[in-house]
Amino acid sequence: MKVSSLSARQILDSRGQWTVEVALTLQNGVRATASVPQGKSTGATEARALPAAMAVRNIKSVIATRIIHKDFLDQAALDEFLVRLDGTKAKSRLGANAILAVSIAFLRATARTKKVPLWKHIRDVYGIWVDPTTTTLHPRLFMNVVNGGLHAGNNLHFQEYLVIPRVRTFAESVDVGTKIYHALGAALARAKGHGAANLGDEGGFAPNFKDDLEPFRMIHAAAKKLKLDKKIDLGIDAAATDIKGMTRARLNNLYKKLIKEYAPLYIEDPFSENDFKNFAAITAANAGAGAGVKSKLWIAGDDLTTTNTDRMALAHAKKSVNAIIIKPNQIGSVTEALNAVRLAREYGWAVVVSHRSGETNDDFIADFAYGVAADGFKLGAPARGERVAKYNRLLEIEEGK
């Protein structure tokens, strides 16, 4: 696959901040674009994203001059070339955002060359085979219905409150999740005033609450009223690295109360990003006999692991988690993100693919989640165009497109 042209420009993300978009054309005339998201709650060991203007300049002046007219055997060859071209561990020379944008555009262009859906091409690159005679594998939907922490201007310590439908298809998941989401919005408006239905960064409701568990009380009440409470699990992204003014002991007590009262399926980043010991303690105390998706409670690393295989190996050695968040922009290339998924599978961890809080309308991450047969997919609330684009793409994939 030879690249014949590569251009880049700045575009706005969902928070009105500049990010990167590229357009790549192969020698066969196939063209593809890609844009990259940005996180607000970021782990210290994530690959480094440069300011968008600098990343665009690097794409035009460095990457384009080195890859145009160069023949790449496959996705891994391109990504390895880009990583070597950067030459730094954190991708701080060219920028992880610059590298990932080019990586995704090349992936999309090669899928179009093969005339296959992007998810199918990802599955081929990853090396997973799914028996077409069996039920189609699809990620469970992790719908963010209440925003807190750095994603909202309210008093909640926890960043995301998640509804996780327990149904057969993605379309059913969307139906169950959106019904609860809209019922919750109406309940919040009645209880707290119309301003309570205002939205946070990821489309979840973002009013002030009495305490950090009140959102669960209201979510459960809304689901029960709809007779959907038996069709869902609950979860949170605590994003504890960013929690201020709460001791580890108080956090522990809050998790114990949460687990006792609501039996959540999922807790992400319950402690700060280097607290492998307390991650291990909560995992050992609550996972039950099963591993990964069979565990009673998934304890997921995000800031702890940052889609980085070195951090993952450390977490595995310390038995800190039984699940992991996969975010391609945390590591900077498609191949490295796929390698992280492979390693997570070796460890028996549940895999949850995730968007970022500063998103674009690019729906690549939906194809990625489906392509690697992720166990879960976080893509925000069913509101705001950049989130809905991912919902609609997964619905399309489920229809065979």
Do residue 213 and residue 342 come from a single domain? yes
- Does residue 185 form part of some domain? yes
Domain match, 147 and 86 both: no
Cβ atoms 99, 91 nearer than 8 A: yes
Work out the mean pLDDT of the chain and round it to a whole number. 95
What percentage of the chain has pLDDT greater than the value 70? 98
Structure tokens at 96: 């992880």
Does the residue 323 lie in any domain? yes
Rounded to a whole number of angstroms, the CA Rg of the chain reads 20
Residues 291 and 111: their CA atoms lie apart, in Å, by 34
What is the 3 state secondary structure string of 29-85? CCEEEEECCECCCCCCCCCCCCCHHHHHHHHHHHHHHHHECCECCCHHHHHHHHHHH
Distance CA 356, CA 361 (A): 12
Same domain, 54 and 155: no
**pLDDT value at 283 more than 90:** yes
Q: Which of 46, 91, 273, 327 is catalytic?
A: 327
Closest CA to 241 of 40, 1, 25: 40
Q: Are residues 257 and 145 in the same domain?
A: yes
Helix, strand, or coil here: 330? Answer: helix
Beta bridge mates, 31: 25
Query: 42 pLDDT band (50/70/90 cuts)?
Result: confident
Which residues are paired to 24 by β-bridges?
6, 32
SS3 142: strand
Band (153; pLDDT cuts 50, 70, 90): confident
Residue 49 falls inside a structural domain: yes
- What is the domain count for the chain? 2
Residue pair 85/63 in contact by the 8 Å Cβ criterion: yes
Q: Is the residue at 132 inside a domain?
A: no
Q: What is the CATH number of the domain that holds 377?
A: 3.20.20.120
Q: Is residue 223 part of a domain?
A: yes
Asked whether residue 128 is domain-assigned, the answer is: no
Task: Please indicate, yes or no, whether residues 60 and 196 belong to a single structural domain of this protein.
Answer: no
Lowest-confidence range among 135-144, 206-215, 295-304? 135-144
Q: Is there a single domain that holds both residue 102 and residue 187?
A: no
Give me the catalytic one of 21, 46, 160, 202: 202
330 with 383, same domain: the answer is: yes
Tell me: do 190 and 280 sit in the same domain.
Answer: yes
Task: Kindly report, residue by residue over 223-254, the tens digit of the pLDDT.
Answer: 999 999 999 999 999 999 999 988 999 999 99
Q: Residue 401, SS3?
A: coil
Q: Which domain holds residue 110?
A: 3-115
> If pLDDT is split at 50, 70 and 90, which confidence band does 118 have?
very high
Assign residue 88 the CATH number of its domain. 3.30.390.10
Statement to judge: residues 30 and 166 lie in one domain: no
Q: Identify whether 202 is a catalytic site residue.
A: yes
Question: What phi, psi does 140 have (nearest 5°)?
Answer: -70, 140
pLDDT digits (tens, 9 = 90+) for 180-218: 999 999 999 999 998 898 898 889 999 999 999 999 999
Number of helices and strands in the chain (H, E): 14, 11
Do 168 and 222 belong to one domain? yes
Q: Which of 27-36, 41-50, 122-131 has the highest mean pLDDT?
A: 27-36
pLDDT number for residue 28: 97
Q: Answer whether residue 334 shows pLDDT above 60.
A: yes
What are the tens digits of pLDDT across the range 52-91?
999 999 999 999 999 999 999 999 999 999 999 999 999 9
pLDDT > 60? residue 135:
no
Q: Is residue 195 part of a domain?
A: yes
In the three-class reduction of DSSP (H, G, I as helix; E, B as strand; rest coil), residue 324 is classed as: strand
Distances (CA, A) of 152 to 15, 18, 330, 400: 12, 20, 22, 36
Is residue 130 a part of any domain in this protein? no
State mean pLDDT over 349-376: 96
C-alpha–C-alpha distance, residues 197 and 218, integer Å: 13
The last residue of a domain, from among 60, 82, 115: 115
The yes-or-no verdict on residue 131 having pLDDT over 80 is no
280 and 391 housed in the same domain: yes
Integer Cα distance of 128 and 121 in angstroms = 10
105 with 189, same domain: the answer is no
Q: What pLDDT shows up at residue 136?
A: 55
Backbone angles phi, psi at 22, to 5 degrees: -125, 155
Percent of the chain surpassing pLDDT 90: 87
**Are 319 and 283 spatial neighbours (Cβ–Cβ below 8 Å)?**
yes
What is the average per-residue pLDDT within 161-176? Answer: 96
